[in-house]
A and B are shown apart, each in its own frame.
Chain A
Amino acid sequence: MSSLINSIDFPFVLGALIKVIIFWITIMIICAYAVYAERRVLAVIQNRLGPNRVGWQGLLQPFADLIKFIFKEDIIPLAVNRALYVCAPIIALVPAMMVLIVYPFGPDDLPLPGGEFLTQTVGNLVAKLGLGWNIDLRTVDLHVTHFNVGILYVFAMTGLGIYGIVVAGWASNSKYSLLGGLRSSAQMVSYELGLSLSVVAVLLMAGTLDLTEIVKQQSGWGGMRWNIFGGVSAGQGLKSLAMAIPAIIAFFIYLISAIAETNRVPFDLPEAETELVAGFHTEYSALKFALFFIAEYVNMTTVSVLATSLFLGGWNGPFIGTLPWLGPIYFLGKVFFFLFLYIWLRGTLPRLRYDQLMSFGWKFLLPAALFNIALAAIIAVLVY
């Protein structure tokens, strides 16, 4: 048994657990306030006030909503397939949540305030317990872990999230839900292609699939050597600006596919209210509905995080060298920019028709992404 205990890296596991909890709370708060922001911004766009009663300017509204969701009656319709009906929201939420272990929130080796004191206290405690761990809390890395297939891991997990919607649509035993589930599976499989192919242009520039590594490479030019400006590859100078062309094309293909992938306006066919009541979650109520809702917002955050890390330099920005704690602020700021973009689009654009959606995905976005890979490869060979 001692070999079993020796084979576990306890300090890493404990550190990862603490980080997961902190990041999880961060993401939950981001999602809660994304919902609030969505309601307020939409209200501004539509010339109304929006929720402004609970707390100052309605800032406590997300918590009021959460309490409401918890205490509402949880209705399971009689004709549903009970087991799958209950599982579906969990299948939707868990893979969405699992992605957050590769979010690069900030730079490596951030000096932790009070880290000297913490290191000593924890070190003393560990020595007293006789565990023999070597713990250094003077600096922290603001990501749970990183591995050499980080992006593929994100795609794999978001891909599994489809089943939550599909199973919900089928298990509900309702026409509207079934149609919503069918639409979403077709839509998400179609747009996943554009999403993953658009990323290839960036991968050609970075030469790695590790998300933290890709972000780190964009730290030149005083923190402004972002991939969308053609960044990466030190010593290439202005010549590497040519890479900006495929990078910008890839960015827009990614953005459109990401909106379709997360079922948001103008691609929200799986829950088109005017045709399908509420689509795949028509029969869901109370906390189960809330889980779908959270999963949608976590997925929105995930594609925003990917867009930030791959194209907009992640936590990089001006003065990052002297003030490293600006990193997470830049990162969250960029993520919020994308979340705002989602809301803005929702307030502005009408919904596409289903055949338009499919032909746009297959006949325009996919060829454009393939063409862009060829372009990026040619320019990469010429520049590097």
Chain B
Amino acid sequence: MEQFAQIQVSHLFFLAFASLAVVAAFNIILQRNPIYSAIGLIVVLCCLAGLFLTLAAQFIAAIQIIVYAGAIMVLFVFVIMLLNVREEESKIDRQKYLKFLAVPLFLALIAEVMAVLKTLGNPPASPNIPGTVESLAEGMFSIYVLPFEATSVLILMAIVGSMLLARRESKEDADDIETALNAANEPTAIEESSEEEVHA
């Protein structure tokens, strides 16, 4: 009860964001419809931004929302909508014995988390964590400048690699596209079935 005497409004915010994040995280794995899972993930990311705010890391919170919730998840949702991903069919038959493995693994995970939490003790009283623009930039462009630049090169390589994989350059591919285009121009029966089953 002693700990409750020290409670502050930031603790309440932590509780609200943390519990909402846990609920939304469960929602991600429990939903069968991929778009609900994606929305759950967006909520988790926003809650994490809220948790960063309670730690006085405003810059990281804003970037968290801009990059993850505002850009990456939009692409996720975009792909789900574009490919018209159906609700996941139940695959219980094929994974009959996995559930016997799942329970001990889950218990092991809980035990691990509890063990780690026990060693931690109380968090520092005043959150003096560097999360503002200035402190972050100072770290990024002085001590961590080499890892930062290396990461940039890594990401650039990933972009170039994906461009290379996605691009069709050979003669055969060009011919394939041409025949496909010619086939599309010929009058054929219009397939309407895919659109009708969006929410089937």
Q: Does B78 contact A (CB under 8 A)?
A: yes
Enumerate B3-52 residues with CB–CB distance to A below 8 Å.
5-10, 12, 35, 39, 42, 46, 49
Q: Does B71 contact A (CB under 8 A)?
A: yes
Interfacial chain A residues near B78, Cβ < 8 Å: 166, 182, 185-186, 189
CA A196 to CA B195, docked complex, whole Å: 36
Interfacial chain B residues near A156, Cβ < 8 Å: 49, 62, 65-66, 69-70
CA A187 to CA B74, docked complex, whole Å: 11
CA A163 to CA B78, docked complex, whole Å: 10
Interfacial chain A residues near B6, Cβ < 8 Å: 3
Question: A8-B9, A156-B65 in contact; A173/B198 too (CB < 8 A)?
Answer: yes
Q: Is the CB of A148 within 8 A of B74?
A: no
Interfacial chain B residues near A1, Cβ < 8 Å: 7
CA A209 to CA B58, docked complex, whole Å: 11
Q: Is the CB of A3 within 8 A of B82?
A: no
Q: Is the CB of B199 within 8 A of A81?
A: yes
Q: Is the CB of B71 within 8 A of A3?
A: no
Q: Does A22 contact B (CB under 8 A)?
A: no
Give the number of residues in A that approach B within 8 Å (Cβ atoms).
37
Q: Is the CB of A163 within 8 A of B133?
A: no
CA A209 to CA B136, docked complex, whole Å: 14
| Interface residue from B35, B46, B74 paired with A162 (Cβ < 8 Å) | B74
Binary flags per residue of A151-186, CB closer than 8 Å to B gives 1, else 0:
011011101101100110110010100100110011
| Interface residue from B10, B46, B58 paired with A148 (Cβ < 8 Å) | B58
Q: Is the CB of B133 within 8 A of A160?
A: no
Q: Does A149 contact B (CB under 8 A)?
A: yes
| Interface residue from B35, B59, B69, B132 paired with A159 (Cβ < 8 Å) | B69
Q: Is the CB of A4 within 8 A of B9?
A: yes
CA A157 to CA B46, docked complex, whole Å: 11
Count A-B contacts at CB 8 Å: 93
Q: Is the CB of B74 within 8 A of A166?
A: yes
CA A179 to CA B39, docked complex, whole Å: 20
Interfacial chain B residues near A175, Cβ < 8 Å: 195
Interfacial chain B residues near A186, Cβ < 8 Å: 78
Q: Is the CB of B9 within 8 A of A192?
A: no
Interfacial chain B residues near A196, Cβ < 8 Å: 66
Q: Is the CB of B66 within 8 A of A163?
A: no
Q: Does B81 contact A (CB under 8 A)?
A: yes
Question: A149-B58, A189-B74 in contact; A159/B199 too (CB < 8 A)?
Answer: no
Binary flags per residue of A199-222, CB closer than 8 Å to B gives 1, else 0:
000000000010000000000000
| Interface residue from A163, A173, A209 paired with B199 (Cβ < 8 Å) | A173
Q: Is the CB of A152 within 8 A of B81?
A: no
Binary flags per residue of B73-84, CB closer than 8 Å to A gives 1, else 0:
011011001100
Closest chain-B Cβ to A282's Cβ sits at a distance in Å of: 14
Q: Does B63 contact A (CB under 8 A)?
A: yes
Q: Does A319 contact B (CB under 8 A)?
A: no
CA A155 to CA B59, docked complex, whole Å: 12
Q: Is the CB of A152 within 8 A of B62?
A: yes
Question: A178-B81, A182-B82 in contact; A148/B132 too (CB < 8 A)?
Answer: yes
Q: Is the CB of A169 within 8 A of B75?
A: no
In the complex, what residue of chain B is closest to A155 when comparing beta carbons?
A: B66
Closest chain-B Cβ to A105's Cβ sits at a distance in Å of: 22
Question: A4-B7, A148-B133, A159-B65 in contact; A166/B77 too (CB < 8 A)?
Answer: yes
Q: Does A133 contact B (CB under 8 A)?
A: no
Q: Is the CB of B77 within 8 A of A185?
A: yes
Q: Does A47 contact B (CB under 8 A)?
A: no
Interfacial chain A residues near B5, Cβ < 8 Å: 3
Interfacial chain A residues near B195, Cβ < 8 Å: 175
Q: Is the CB of A7 within 8 A of B9?
A: yes
Interfacial chain A residues near B199, Cβ < 8 Å: 79-81, 173
Q: Is the CB of B35 within 8 A of A170?
A: yes
Closest chain-B Cβ to A179's Cβ sits at a distance in Å of: 10
Interfacial chain B residues near A189, Cβ < 8 Å: 71, 74-75, 78
Q: Does A147 contact B (CB under 8 A)?
A: yes
Enumerate B83-120 residues with CB–CB distance to A below 8 Å.
none
CA A182 to CA B82, docked complex, whole Å: 7
Enumerate B159-200 residues with CB–CB distance to A below 8 Å.
195, 198-199
Q: Is the CB of B77 within 8 A of A3?
A: no
A-B contacts, 19 listed (Cβ < 8 Å): A3-B5, A4-B9, A7-B8, A7-B9, A8-B9, A80-B199, A149-B133, A152-B63, A153-B62, A156-B49, A156-B70, A159-B70, A160-B70, A162-B74, A163-B42, A166-B78, A166-B81, A173-B198, A182-B78
Other than the given A167-B39, A185-B77, 8 more pairs (CB < 8 A) read A3-B6, A4-B9, A7-B8, A84-B35, A84-B39, A149-B62, A156-B49, A163-B74
Q: Which 10 pairs show the lowest CB-CB distances between chains A and B?
A: A159-B70, A152-B62, A7-B8, A156-B65, A149-B62, A149-B58, A7-B9, A185-B78, A156-B66, A4-B7
